[in-house]
Amino acid sequence: MDVKHILRTYQAVAISIAILLFCVIALLYGVIPSFKNVGELIVSMQVLEKDNASLTNKIEILDRYDETDLKEKLGVVLSAVPGDKGLPALFGTVEEVAGQAGVTLADMNVSGGLVSTASATKQSPLEKQLGTRALPFTVTVVGGLSNMQEFITKVALVRRLMRIRAFSITFPKNDKPLTISLSLDAFYEPYITSLGGVTAVISPLSDEELSTIDTLTSFPLMASSTEAVPLSPITGTTKANPFVR
C-alpha cells in the first residue's frame, strides 16, 4: 500500500530524473565524442583542401611550360654544368678556346679523384661556398701576350663553366712567346636521382634563373658531351631490397 502510494507520488519525478540521466549520458558518451570526431574531420578536410590547392598550383606551374622548351634549356644548363667531370668535353673546350685565341696548349693536368664516388670526395671550401663540385686542373699555354689575354678572357665565357683560380706569367725580355700556367676549376654537379613526393612544392623559373639560362645560351658551346641526359628522374619510388626473396 505504501509502495504504491510512493510510486504514484514520485512517478513523474522518477521519469524526469531518468530522462535527465539519459541526457547527461548522451552528452558524455554521444555528443562530446561526436563533436571531437567532427572537429577532427573538419581539420583533416582543411588539410586536404590545402593539399589540393598546392597540387592545383603545381599543375598550373607545370602547365605554363612547354616540355620541349624546358628540355632545350636543361640541355644548355647541362652543357655548362654537367652531371659528371666530363673530361672529354672539358679537354675539347679548353683545346678549342686555345685554338680560337691563337695560343698553343702545351700541357693539361687534371687532379683530385678522377675516378671516385661522390661520397669519397671531400668538398673543398670553394665547393662548400658554391654548393657544387669543382674539378681542379692546370693548363700550360704558350703564345703572344694579346693571345694570352684573349685566352684568359674567353676561357671563362664558354658553355662549360670554369673559373681561373690562379696563374703566373713571366714576361720574356725578347720577343719569345710567353708561357703561362693556369690553375682552373671546372664545375659539375651529379644529377638529382629522385624528386620529392607528389605533394612536394615547386616554384616557377624566377627572372634570375631565366637570366642565367639566357647568359649560358649566349656562351659558345665549344665541345659537347656525349653522355645521355636523364630527363626523367625517379619519382616517389624506392630501390628494391636485393636481400628480399
Of residues 158 through 197, those in contact with another protein by CB under 8 A are: 161-171, 183, 187, 189, 191-192, 195
198 in contact with another protein (CB under 8 A): yes
In the set 29, 44, 99, 109, which binds another protein (CB under 8 A)? 44
What distance in Å separates the CA atoms of residue 102 and residue 149, rounded to the nearest whole number? 10
Stretch that binds another protein, among 77-85, 92-100, 102-110, 113-121 (CB under 8 A): 77-85
Cβ-based nearer residue to another protein, 180 or 242: 180
Binding to another protein (CB under 8 A) within 79-108 occurs at 80-81
Cβ-based nearer residue to another protein, 44 or 243: 44
Binding to another protein (CB under 8 A) within 110-169 occurs at 126, 129-132, 145, 149-150, 152-154, 156, 161-169
Nearest-approach distance from CB 82 to another protein, in angstroms: 9
Q: Give the phi and the psi of residue 235 in degrees, each rounded to 5.
A: -115, 120
Nearest-approach distance from CB 243 to another protein, in angstroms: 29
Stretch that binds another protein, among 18-26, 90-98, 103-111, 112-120 (CB under 8 A): 18-26
28 in contact with another protein (CB under 8 A): no
Among 206, 185, 173, 191, smallest CA distance to 135 is for 185
Classify residue 91 by burial, with Cβ atoms within 10 Å: 0-12, 13-18, 19+: middle
Cβ-based nearer residue to another protein, 106 or 130: 130
Q: Are 86 and 225 a contacting pair, CB within 8 Å?
A: yes
What distance in Å separates the CA atoms of residue 50 and residue 114, rounded to the nearest whole number? 47
Binding to another protein (CB under 8 A) within 199-238 occurs at 202-203, 205, 208-209, 212-213, 215-216, 231-233, 235
Nearest-approach distance from CB 200 to another protein, in angstroms: 9
Q: Give the phi and the psi of residue 117 in degrees, each rounded to 5.
A: -75, 160
In the set 7, 28, 45, 118, which binds another protein (CB under 8 A)? 45
Partners of 186 in the beta sheet?
A: 135, 162
37 in contact with another protein (CB under 8 A): yes
Residue matched to cell numbers 693556369: 182
DSSP secondary structure code for residue 95 in this structure = H
Number of residues that bind another protein (CB under 8 A): 85
Classify residue 86 by burial, with Cβ atoms within 10 Å: 0-12, 13-18, 19+: buried
156 Cβ partners below 8 Å, 6+ apart?
162, 163, 164
